Amino acid sequence: MEQLVPSPAAAIDALAADVAHAGVTVGTVFGAVSLMVGGKALGCLHGDAVAFKLGRDPAGHAQALAAG
């Protein structure tokens, strides 16, 4: 049977490809597949989801949490 949803690793690779123009690459942090910019992680695989690092801006943080 064909898998309609890509594996989490394939999904993070596709996400990285979509934002590669911004300098995003795929790397590893503490053994987790991660999205990296300038050698720093901005998100990583957590099970079958991607967890993102949020900035310090309270308004931006609230907006990201409200996005669902």
Cβ atoms within 10 Å of 64's Cβ, excluding its own:
13
Per-residue pLDDT at 54: 77
Residue 2 has pLDDT above 60, yes or no: no
pLDDT, tens digit (0-9, with 9 covering 90-100), for 9-66: 888 888 899 999 999 999 998 888 999 999 999 888 888 788 888 777 788 788 888 8
Q: Which of 18, 36, 19, 20 is nearest to 28 (CA)?
A: 36
CB 49 within 8 A of CB 35: no
pLDDT category of residue 4 using cuts at 50, 70 and 90: low
DSSP state of 47: T
Write out the two tokens for 59: 């308004």
DSSP state of 31: T
Rounded to whole angstroms, the Cα distance separating 9 from 15 reads 10
